[in-house]
Structure 1
Amino acid sequence: MRVWALPLALFALVSCVADPAPSRQHTRKPVMPFGLSVADPGALATWLESMQPGWPRSRSYDCGHIKCVALTFDDGPGEHTGRLLDLLRERDVRATFFVLGERVAADPGGHMVRRIVGDGHELGNHSWSHPLLTDLPYERLKSEIEHTENLVERLTGVRMRVMRPPYGATDKRVAAETRREGLAQILWSLDTFDWRDRAPAIVARRAGRARPGSIVLLHDIHRTTVAAVPRLLDRLAKKGFTFVTVSELYGDAPAPGRRYARR
């Protein structure tokens, strides 16, 4: 078989697998990402590779023996996310981005979420419109999570496996729905309060209090938070921290429905 034909054959195989009654958690059929054509074998091969279990590719860190910290950014993507990605790329730092469906939808073609994936960061579900999930009727709760999952998958070709409930508000119903969607609930152990105190020096100082296994809460929608990033990276690097994604912090995909706040 010619090399260029292999991705097309693989795509045909994936598309033709019988799946008469898929469950909602692990047997979903892949969805072709927005703007990707089967006429582009190279792009298709890259997409098929990204669909393999373990996305994003986990690096080999044993966070039980080294000082790991997971930086997480909520409420984007926004106008400052691109600059943040530039800063993280310069330092070869990976993070986890908990995105809002309505903000993803406002970005034509999903340029920013696709860049987040392309740079090796982890995407997480932060609901569609940032409501208190615990106050919603079931159908709205389901919609807030499911619509964001489906949109991100359509745009990027990957299925998110972590989520953060807005305001950290969760209960048994939220846990049950996230379990059905195959999503672990990720809270945090260190809040920088960057949404309240728009001062880069203060944000960097608070982030510098991280301990091994900390999950740090930040927001990429604030210019001042992005401005704090070089300083906070320097603080934590001097303390010997390794920057990892949430999934890397736990060594594998966290369990769907379960709540996590630190390692």
Structure 2
Amino acid sequence: MGAWARRIRNGLLAAAVGAAVGSAPAATAQPVDCAAVKCVALTFDDGPGPYTDRLLQILREHHARATFFLIGDKVAADPAAAARIAGAGMEIGNHTWSHPDMTTLPPQEIAAQFAGTSDAIEATTGQRPTLARTGGGTIDDAVLAEAQRQGLAVINWDVVPFDWINDADVSATREVLMRQIRPNSVVLLHDTFATTVDVVAEFLPVLEANGYHLVTVTEMLGPRPPGSLYGGRDNGPPADELVDTPG
């Protein structure tokens, strides 16, 4: 783990990273006051992956921003992809080094999972993450304490459409989104599934038609204290707030 972060820090991939940043125009969305207008924060876990660039293009076309929780070993393996996410104006969070159940690890491994990922993201993008999400959203006091030591606020979610279960059934994922999204929802999705990107392409016009602004977690919730926990792991009662669009 440390070797990967050192390799990136030493600049062996600096040229590729620099080129990637230069080639990805940032999202042009203007600052939004989520206390005055309806906002939703789409979050994407487990990348970067093979469908991330298509997702970035879709978000740019809609002037939308989102938060990407990246896995450290994937950032190390493809730093240029992580740089493109940052260069597109998206927020990047720490999704641990290898996506374990953090509540099963000894303290030194919890620390390494967070630190190695933050090191790789910072070396690749120039920005150290302030948000974290654990694999499966599993949290206990030891994980939160280590997150606090490393300056990380933990973000779970309000809406989970189970896109990893509904991979072959786009309509099922879309149905949960229609039913559960309300103002200031944090939505859990994954840019590791082509079908999830399909859902996003189809669903962004629905959100826009319903007056929603697509923002990052920090834009919507504001700065979060290190060691704090936002959200849960399950859906709450249906909101049924959205009106579908024709076609």
| Superposition TM-score, scaled by structure 1 size | 0.76
Q: Residue 162 of structure 1 aligns to which amino acid in structure 2? A: L
User: Is the CA contact (8 Å cut-off) linking 1:58 and 1:248 kept in structure 2?
Assistant: no
Question: What stretches of structure 1 of length at least 5 have no aligned partner?
Answer: 1-30, 37-42, 48-55
Contact kept in structure 1, 2:29 and 2:63, CA below 8 Å: no
Hey, what does 2:135 align to over in structure 1? 166
Amino acid at match of 2:172: I
Count of residues paired in the alignment: 214
The equivalent residue for 1:218 is 189
What amino acid maps onto 1:261 in structure 2?
Answer: G
Residue in structure 2 matching 1:247, options 210, 214, 218: 218
Shift of 1:32: 8.2
Q: Which residue of 2 aligns with 1:179?
A: 148
In structure 2, C-alpha distance between the alignment counterparts of 1:136 and 1:73, rounded to whole Å: 24
1:207 Cα shift?
Answer: 2.0
Q: Which residue of 1 aligns with 2:4?
A: none
Pairing of 1:1-263 with structure 2 (within 5 A): 34-35=13-14, 60-107=31-78, 110-198=79-167, 199-209=169-179, 210-250=181-221, 252-261=222-231
- Deviations 1:35-70 (CA, angstroms, capped at 9, x unpaired): 16xxxxxx7xx99xxxxxxxx999532212211100
CA contact (8 A) 2:28 2:63 kept: no
Distance 1:59 1:122, change over 3 A: same
Larger Rg: 1
* TM-score normalised by length of structure 2: 0.81
Amino acid at match of 1:203: T
> What CA distance in whole angstroms lies between the structure 2 residues aligned with 1:147 and 1:57?
31
CA shift for structure 1 position 200 = 2.3
Q: Give secondary structure in 2 for the equivalent of 1:71.
A: strand
Q: Is the 8 A contact 2:29 2:65 kept in 1?
A: no
Query: 2-side partners of 1:232 and 1:32: how far apart?
Result: 41
- Alignment-derived partner of residue 19 in structure 1: none
> In structure 2, do the counterparts of structure 1 residues 248 and 32 end up closer, same or farther at CA, with 3 Å as the change threshold?
farther
Is the Cα–Cα contact under 8 Å of residues 205 and 232 in structure 1 kept in the other structure? Answer: no
Q: Contact 2:157/2:188 (CA < 8 Å) preserved in 1?
A: yes
Shift of 1:141: 0.7
Q: Is the 8 A contact 1:218 1:225 kept in 2?
A: yes
SS of residue paired to 1:134: helix
* Deviation of the 1:231 alpha carbon: 1.4
Counterpart residue type for residue 205 of structure 1: E
RMSD: 2.4
Question: C-alpha separation between the residues in 1 aligned to 2:30 and 2:208?
Answer: 18
> 1:101·1:151 contact (CA, 8 Å) conserved in 2?
yes
**Alpha-carbon spacing, 1:183–1:58, altered in 2? closer, same or farther (3 Å):** farther
The answer to whether the Cα contact below 8 Å between 1:59 and 1:248 also exists between their aligned partners in 2 is no
2:93–2:131 Cα contact (<8 Å) kept: yes
CA distance in 1, matches of 2:32, 2:71: 29
